């Protein structure tokens, strides 16, 4: 079968993109490496859309939860992943969990039976030089193709080691204990008026207790296929630094020099003394709703992270959009290398989709694959594609990975309300419901407009 579009990768994103294109009448060649004699270190089968880790698609609550809202929007677009998820669904309370074997088999059966889809078991070693293409090879992209992507994007724009620092919702930070300032009051043209960092000061006693907590906290172990991935200086886990000596962090990411604590003033230090140690947070999105804990990539287990990080002054009630982690991964710096329609800058016949774009999670990966399919369908039909509003889960996620995230600190992230344009005129107790209500109304209007346009 001659094809209109070549999709590389038969995971969640590639399968969803193939479905969206096929049901709109386009011929799809879906290349999947597994089943050709090749296998990744993490997969167990050659089934399309195999779930490698958890069997959960997380919360299905579309009234108070961002991922549940994403489920709602995907269902509105007849998502294959949501369809198969319902077929394979198992009890999980308010979450959506599936029988992973039934789920993968349902995705594979649906695509195999569609006359517009041809699944080819083959390894693709290089980006195609022409023809509409979607690359959805996920976080375990084969080395040869990864090298081709490096050639197209630049060596510094593809990560093979995912060093993740926690991200905190700004409105959960107690600013009565913190202050905003850049070290030595240094400014750039892009600096905020008062500075670029939120500073959480620590006394000697607080610091020593925090250091001991890092040493004692329960940590996750590398999986076998990650174990030979070396640490890089720029992504050293904070507990590894702490193990080098009790003072190491005070001369690294927690140094207090050049920062004047306004809560510790005296006649001698009218501007405030330098704190014994400090935890800095840096703005992580253009909306200013998410702040990254600088230098806090960690292998602490999630429960240990929450318990320990809430001992930091100002973060006692912190709500985390993402917790820290460190593992092998492959993803591009999407805000730098992709345009707003997921196309590679300088090679606009190629789109990227799924986790390789820097989204995190099964549902988010599928959603980006779905959008890549819709964008490509519009392009093949010769019409403009209207993006979903940024107030929707689709729009917020797409905006984040294609330009709204800070490229210098870009890391994979799940969908969360911190990615949405903020609501300033509603109380905190009803804010989540307000986000979902606004999103549903805007999504319905966008969907009606899209359905009025022929494929």
| 224-233 tens-digit pLDDT | 545 555 454 5
> Annotated binding site for FAD: which residue ranges?
9-14
Strands 347-352 and 133-135: parallel
pLDDT tens per residue, range 53-88? 667 899 999 999 999 999 999 999 999 999 999 998
Which residues face 281 on adjacent strands?
Answer: 198, 293
> Annotated binding site: which residue ranges?
9-14
pLDDT tens per residue, range 128-181? 999 999 999 988 888 899 899 989 988 666 665 555 789 899 999 999 999 999
Burial of 111 (0-12, 13-18, 19+ CB in 10 A): buried
Give the three-state DSSP class for 438. Answer: helix
Average of pLDDT values for 94-106?
87
- Nearest Cα residue to 80 out of 22, 8, 5, 124: 22
pTM for this predicted structure: 0.74
Average of pLDDT values for 181-197?
75
pLDDT tens per residue, range 333-377? 999 999 999 999 988 899 999 999 989 889 999 999 999 999 999
Residue 271 CA, distance from chain mean position: 39
- Nearest Cα residue to 385 out of 455, 329, 324, 328: 455
Q: What pLDDT sits at residue 160?
A: 55
3-state helix, strand, coil in the chain (%, to 5): 40, 20, 45
Q: Give the C-alpha separation, 193 to 190, whole Å.
A: 9
Q: How high does pLDDT run on average in the chain?
A: 89
Q: Give, in order, the Cα–Cα distances in Å from 172 to each of 33, 167, 291, 344, 364.
A: 44, 11, 10, 36, 24
Q: What pLDDT sits at residue 446?
A: 97
Give ∠ CA 390-396-401 in degrees, rounded to 5. 125
pLDDT tens per residue, range 118-129? 999 999 999 999
Cβ(107)–Cβ(48) below 8 Å: yes
- Nearest Cα residue to 416 out of 69, 112, 75: 69
């Amino acid at each position: 079968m001659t094809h209109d579009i070549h999709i590389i990768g038969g995971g969640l994103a590639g399968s969803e993109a193939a479905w969206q294109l096929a049901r709109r009448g386009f011929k799809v060649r879906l290349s999947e490496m597994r089943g050709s004699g090749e296998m990744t270190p993490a997969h167990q089968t050659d089934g399309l859309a195999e779930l490698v880790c958890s069997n959960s698609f997380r919360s299905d609550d579309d009234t108070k939860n961002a991922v549940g809202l994403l489920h709602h929007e995907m269902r509105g677009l007849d998502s294959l992943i949501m369809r198969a998820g319902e077929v394979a669904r198992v009890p999980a309370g308010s979450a959506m969990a599936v029988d992973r074997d039934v789920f993968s088999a349902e995705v594979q059966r649906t695509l195999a039976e569609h006359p517009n889809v041809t699944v080819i078991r083959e390894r693709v070693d290089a980006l195609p030089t022409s023809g509409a293409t979607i690359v959805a090879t996920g976080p375990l992209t084969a080395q040869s193709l990864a090298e081709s992507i490096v050639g197209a994007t630049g060596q510094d724009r593809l990560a093979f080691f995912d060093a993740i620092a926690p991200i905190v919702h700004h409105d959960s930070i107690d600013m009565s204990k913190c202050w905003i300032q850049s070290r030595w009051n240094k400014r750039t043209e892009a600096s905020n008026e008062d500075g670029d960092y939120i500073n959480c000061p620590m006394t000697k006693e607080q610091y020593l207790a925090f250091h001991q907590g890092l040493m004692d906290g329960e940590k996750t172990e590398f999986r076998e296929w990650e174990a030979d991935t070396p640490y890089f200086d720029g992504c050293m886990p904070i507990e590894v630094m702490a193990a080098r000596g009790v003072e190491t962090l005070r001369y690294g990411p927690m140094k207090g020099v050049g920062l004047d604590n306004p809560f510790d003033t005296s006649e001698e230090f009218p501007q405030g003394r330098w704190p014994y140690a400090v935890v800095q947070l840096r703005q992580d999105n253009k909306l200013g709703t998410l702040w990254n804990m600088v230098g806090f990539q960690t292998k602490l287990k999630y429960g240990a992270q929450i318990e320990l990080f809430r001992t930091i002054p100002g973060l006692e009630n912190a709500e985390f959009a993402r917790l820290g982690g460190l593992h092998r991964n492959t993803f591009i710096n999407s805000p730098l290398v992709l345009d707003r329609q997921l196309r590679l800058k300088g090679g606009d016949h190629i789109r990227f989709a799924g986790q390789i774009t820097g989204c995190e999670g099964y549902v988010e990966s599928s959603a980006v694959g779905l959008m890549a399919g819709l964008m490509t369908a519009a392009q093949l039909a010769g019409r403009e594609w209207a993006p979903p509003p940024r107030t929707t889960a689709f729009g917020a996620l797409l905006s984040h990975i294609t330009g709204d995230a800070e490229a210098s600190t870009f890391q994979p992230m799940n969908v969360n309300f911190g990615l949405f344009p903020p609501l300033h005129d509603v109380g905190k107790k009803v804010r989540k419901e307000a986000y979902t209500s606004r999103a549903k109304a805007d999504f319905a209007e966008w969907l009606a407009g899209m359905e009025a346009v022929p494929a």
